Structure 1
Amino acid sequence: MEKNIKRKRKQKKRRKILKIILLLAAALLAAGAAVFWIFDIRQVTVNGNQYYTAEEIEDRLFPNALEKRTGWVWLQERLGNKKEIPFIQNYTVELTGPHSVNVIIYEKSYAGCIYYTGNYLYFDRDGIIVDSYDTLIEGVPVIEGLGFEQVVLYQPLPVDDPNVFAGILNMTQQLQKYGIKVDRVKYNSKMEATVYMGNVRVKIGSSKYLEEKIAELYSMLDQLEGQSGTLHLETYDKDGNHDYFSFIPD
């Protein structure tokens, strides 16, 4: 009899503990639901973006009321569900508060692009076509004069010397370093470059002293503004003789 009473007391105690656990679980679920449905994203901080503005990134990642819910954002990030955005390699979304997130953008790196059959084909430092879009990214120069008849996506550009892409990448990096915006870069059969900036043509020549040539171009941007003609930098003299360049107006 006494054993039965003790057993019933233990069972009653266990049921009480189980009830408390269930109540706590229900409270946590309710709190989670509150976060999911009540809190929404009101402040978005974007870092690492050049191809898109912060507003454009926000519109693409959080286009509607559901996708602005804090809980939804947290869940998608934990599940690794990412949206495909042109020119974006990857991104992360970090909750910094119940109404705020920090978005870090990792953009794709392009050496340049070519215009082919109505699209811009973007290639990497190895000359492999990695993307095809009908829009041109600001800051990625259009490369002309490589000499090919047919290209295939995800395949290398069919050029005689694959080493030319190292020179193209170097050109792109130097232009980006100084924030120089160009329309296109044209190479001749000797891989000598001419940079086109509006109505100004800049004869760069070979890749020798390329960094110094681009630095000189940067120092002359104010003088070239509104001009039309050809700036000759192909005979750059590293010894400090500034008679090597000339500007010939149209």
Structure 2
Amino acid sequence: MRKEYDVVLDLPQEDSVQEELRPKRPRRKKISKFRFYFLNIFLGVVILGIIAAIFIYAGCRIQKVSFEGNTVYAEEDLKNQILNDKYSFNSVYVYLKSVFKPVEDIPFVESYHVKFNSPTSITIQIEQKSMMAYVMSADGENQVYFDDDGVVQEISTLHVDGLMLISGITVEDPKKGETLGIEEEQLEALLSMTKYIKKYDITASAIYFDEAGNLYITYGDSIQIEFGNSDYMSEKVMRLSYILPKLEGMTGTLHLEDWNTENTDIVFEKAE
């Protein structure tokens, strides 16, 4: 005999069925505050960079260039040597180039610095090489410029005003960065003379060595000074610095060649 059982089915409610059948919408990912601010700052920087680039390119075109410390070149010549590429119309570019990759091997120029006056105006400050005087090369074509230590700074056909010409000595094969190739006694006498002239602030236009090694100085266009050999050179130049102001406007020869500690006479022979 079969038993009858009551079967109760737990069926889902209609609302629940519809809810499960309804397609689920994808959940939106929330952006963290850090990412939000980072993206905004990044975009702001990019926009400012673009604006700055446009301003630098369009608003910093050089209209005026001035120089300080240059006594050798015509300004236009020096300008062409420094502003020497297609981007050198821009003051920011010229400044950055002078800091990170300056133009090198400009004759007579040790270094230079670019100073902003305005976005369209710059000043180029020149530091020239130290030069005391010059001699002519053996072929007579070049001027050999040297410093206080007798080291050759430049070899050029360009004449630099305000420097003494040293004549009566021959430089056969001058090389930049090396000492003048002359006899040691001549070099010592020359360097001593130029040192004392500088010390006592005497503006000589030329120094001459004769075959016997005697020294002569030309002061201005009218006074010749005979020094004789290099003995007592410091004492002679010191006395010369006292005498020269008294000879202003005169023409003639000042004799110091016989001066020594026992013979202190100094004779000025006026030109007729």
Matched with 2:144 is: 121
Query: Is the alpha carbon distance of 1:195 and 1:81 closer, same or farther for their aligned partners in structure 2, counting shifts above 3 Å?
Result: same
Deviation per residue, 1:99-126 (Å, 9 max, x gap):
5545443222234322122111223455
CA contact (8 A) 2:114 2:123 kept: yes
Query: Is the alpha carbon distance of 1:125 and 1:98 closer, same or farther for their aligned partners in structure 2, counting shifts above 3 Å?
Result: same
Of the three residues 55, 64, 71, the one matched with 1:34 is: 55
Q: How far apart in 1 are the matches of 2:71 and 2:237?
A: 21
Secondary structure of the 2:192 match is helix
Of the three residues 127, 142, 146, the one matched with 2:165 is: 142
Identity of aligned residues (%): 22
Matched with 1:245 is: 267
Q: How far apart in 2 are the matches of 1:55 and 1:221?
A: 39
Matched with 2:182 is: 159
Q: How far apart in 1 are the matches of 2:246 and 2:77?
A: 34
Higher mean displacement: 190-199 or 50-59 = 50-59
Deviation per residue, 1:111-149 (Å, 9 max, x gap):
43221221112234554544211122223222222356x
2:113 is the alignment partner of 1:86: no
CA contact (8 A) 1:114 1:143 kept: yes
Greater radius of gyration (CA): 2
TM-score by length of 2: 0.67
Of the three residues 14, 18, 39, the one matched with 1:18 is: 39
Q: CA deviation at 1:50?
A: 4.4
CA contact (8 A) 2:197 2:237 kept: yes
Q: How far apart in 2 are the matches of 1:4 and 1:16?
A: 22
Matched with 1:76 is: 97
Matched with 1:112 is: 133
CA contact (8 A) 1:192 1:204 kept: yes
2:214 is the alignment partner of 1:192: yes
Larger helix fraction of residues: 1
Deviation per residue, 1:153-194 (Å, 9 max, x gap):
345444332x54343233334444525140x21123453310
Structure 2: where are the runs of 5+ without partners? 1-23
Structure 1: where are the runs of 5+ without partners? none
Matched with 2:17 is: none
When the two chains are superposed, the root-mean-square deviation of aligned CA atoms in Å is 4.0
Total equivalences in the alignment: 243
Higher mean displacement: 170-179 or 52-61 = 52-61
Report the AA paired with residue 9 of structure 1: K
